[in-house]
Amino acid sequence: MSQSAAMADDAVAALVQMDQAVLDALPVGIYLCDSEGRIVRVNRAAIEMWGRQPSYFDSAPRFCGSFKVETLDGIAILPDATPMAHAVRSGARFDNVEAWVENPDGRRWVASVTIRPLFDARGRNSGAVNCFRDVTQDYERRQALLRQRKQFDLAMAASKMGTWRYTMADNICVYDENAQRLYGLAQADFLHDDEGVKAKFHPDDLDLMWSRIAKACATGGDGRYEVEYRVKQADGAWRWLSAWGFVEFEGSGETRRPVAITGASRDISALVEAGETQKLLISELNHRVKNLFAVVGGIVTLTARTATSAKALASALHGRLGALARAHELIQPGLRPQGAGVHTGVDLAGLIGQIFAPYSVSHFADRISVAGPVIALCPEAVTGMALIFHELATNAAKYGALHESGGTVSVTWRVNADILELSWREAGCRPRTADPQHKGFGSALLRRSIESQFGGAIAYSWNDDGLSIGMTAPLARVSERYQGADTL
């Protein structure tokens, strides 16, 4: 045996001679290994935690008296790869390293180990001492807190919320990861100086924000802070946030002063947008209801002037108000805003089809044709167009082409230099020189709708076998968009 090895053994021997009673009285597990990794000393606490008694100076196992050791992630650690083995071989030091330990009886627990290498008189490594303790309860509490934190973070992210804390002393607000996303920040710390605040918060909301802060920080106040404002995102867009929190005070009475505000913020952009949409819908609905009452009033007045009896008045009103109802049903999807405006989604061909629906059955089915490009009607045009084609269809059924067994009706339209040109053509009728309704409601309604509502013109033409009507109107007064595709 070399002199250095002998000296190392002497150092270990000195440790072995320590009073066992002192070691056994300690509440933590302690064991020593020599330069070969053999366990040369162990106290009672270590034996109880391991659940077994190791053999002194045994060459196998070395470095550790545990039955099995795993990392906290569940990866097995062999004895010669334990921290104790590294300390014995290289003189490494370890502080509070945690690992799972499994005893022979199957009990599992978490050990926290602190290891110091031992050196002989010449400074050479002669072994190591390991002090360890059972920290299972502490580990489980930390894991439970970690799970709660993850659940909290998930809940905050799902509800589009984040937390923050603003300290007056350094004028810095620290945001968690969720709040950083809400405020469009690249880091947690944000300096609330004049330049930073003006760059981040909407100028129209600054006065309100500062007034709410001042109120919350007032000496006699309740310390509650709550405000809604817009913050600029990285792409320059604005996001609406609701922020609330409580002021932390120090001292009492006249010496009471605010030191920090702890709070949370939530994304309310969707709520604000919904509120604006609701206002728009209510305004649109009010506008349409007023127009509807005006149209109904006009229908009643004009129908009453031309009706020859109460029964005729009721019948005429029933048909005309029914046309209004069908037009109103078509407009309902238009109450949903699309982009900057409101669009009905009703095209001219679809509206005419609805009006012709009562006639497009049995022997009428092949006697009506409708053709023209797709014209998406604006809301204001739907009721007017519905009444126009209802009157034309009613007259055709009572006196014109649809009244005759072989009569036909053709409705066509085209766009010419931003002017909508509509054509109503009846054929297969008996020769007539005048329209029975020419001086009545139908004529008045057609002219009022085409000339007054749409700013266009109307012309009648009497042919040998039927009536032709030409109508024109500026496309902008009828449609919000023109797709230009044909529909038959």
Per-domain boundaries in the chain: 3-140, 159-267, 273-487
Spatial distance between the Cα atoms of 285 and 293, rounded to a whole number of angstroms: 12
- Of the listed ranges 9-23, 140-154, 404-418, the least confidently predicted one is 9-23
Task: Give the Cα separation of 442 and 70 in Å (integer).
Answer: 93
Instruction: Return the pLDDT at 111.
Output: 96
> Residue 361: is it exposed, middle or buried by C-beta count within 10 angstroms (0-12/13-18/19+)?
exposed
Provide the 8-state DSSP code for 404: S
Asked whether 162 and 178 are in contact (CB, 8 A), the reply is yes
CB 456 within 8 A of CB 473: yes
Q: Which CATH code for domain 159-267?
A: 3.30.450.20
pLDDT at 74: 92
Does 380 or 243 have the greater pLDDT score? 243
Name the band, by pLDDT with cuts 50, 70 and 90, for residue 200: very high
Average pLDDT of every residue of the chain: 80
Cα separations (Å) of 307 from 208, 266, 392? 63, 63, 18
Nearest to 7 by CA among 126, 129, 128: 126
Retrieve residue 328's tokens.
Answer: 């109103």
Reference 420, options 469, 479, 344, 461; nearest CA is 479
Q: Is the pLDDT of residue 4 over 70?
A: no
CATH of 3-140, one of 3.40.190.10, 1.10.20.10, 3.30.450.20, 3.20.20.80: 3.30.450.20
pLDDT at 411: 93
When pLDDT is cut at 50, 70 and 90, the band that residue 338 belongs to is very low
> Does pLDDT of 423 surpass 80?
yes
- Distance CA(61)–CA(63), nearest Å, equals 7
Is the model's pLDDT at 8 over the cut of 70? no
End-to-end CA distance of the chain: 109
Q: Residue 257 pLDDT more than 60?
A: yes
Rounded CA-CA distance 52/200 in Å is 64
Residue, of 228 and 452, whose pLDDT is higher: 228
pLDDT of residue 361: 47
pLDDT, mean of residues 304-331: 64
Smallest Cα–Cα separation from 192: which of 163, 225, 166?
A: 166
pLDDT band at 337 (very low <50, low <70, confident <90, very high): very low
**CATH architecture, domain 273-487:** 2-Layer Sandwich (3.30)
DSSP H helices, 222-335, are: 269-306, 310-331
Mean pLDDT of 118-134: 90
Choose from 17-21, 354-358, 374-378 the range with maximum mean pLDDT: 374-378
CA distance 422 to 453: 15
Looking up tokens 């600029």 gives 232
Which pLDDT value is given to residue 37? 92
Decide which of 7 and 315 is more confident. 315
Distances (CA, A) of 33 to 83, 336, 440: 12, 79, 117
- Check residues 338 and 430 and name the one with the higher pLDDT: 430
pLDDT at 323 over 80: no
Mean pLDDT for 30-54 is 92
Please give the pLDDT value at position 402: 76
Same fold, 3-140 and 159-267: yes
DSSP code at position 247: E
pLDDT attached to residue 301: 60
CA distance 125 to 8: 8
SS3 309: coil
User: Which of 385, 387, 398, 408 lies closest to 465 in space, CA to CA?
Assistant: 408
% pLDDT > 90, the chain: 43
Please tell me the distance from the alpha carbon of residue 112 to that of residue 33, in angstroms, as a whole number: 18
- Give me the mean pLDDT over the 416-423 stretch: 92
441 pLDDT band, cuts 50/70/90, is: low
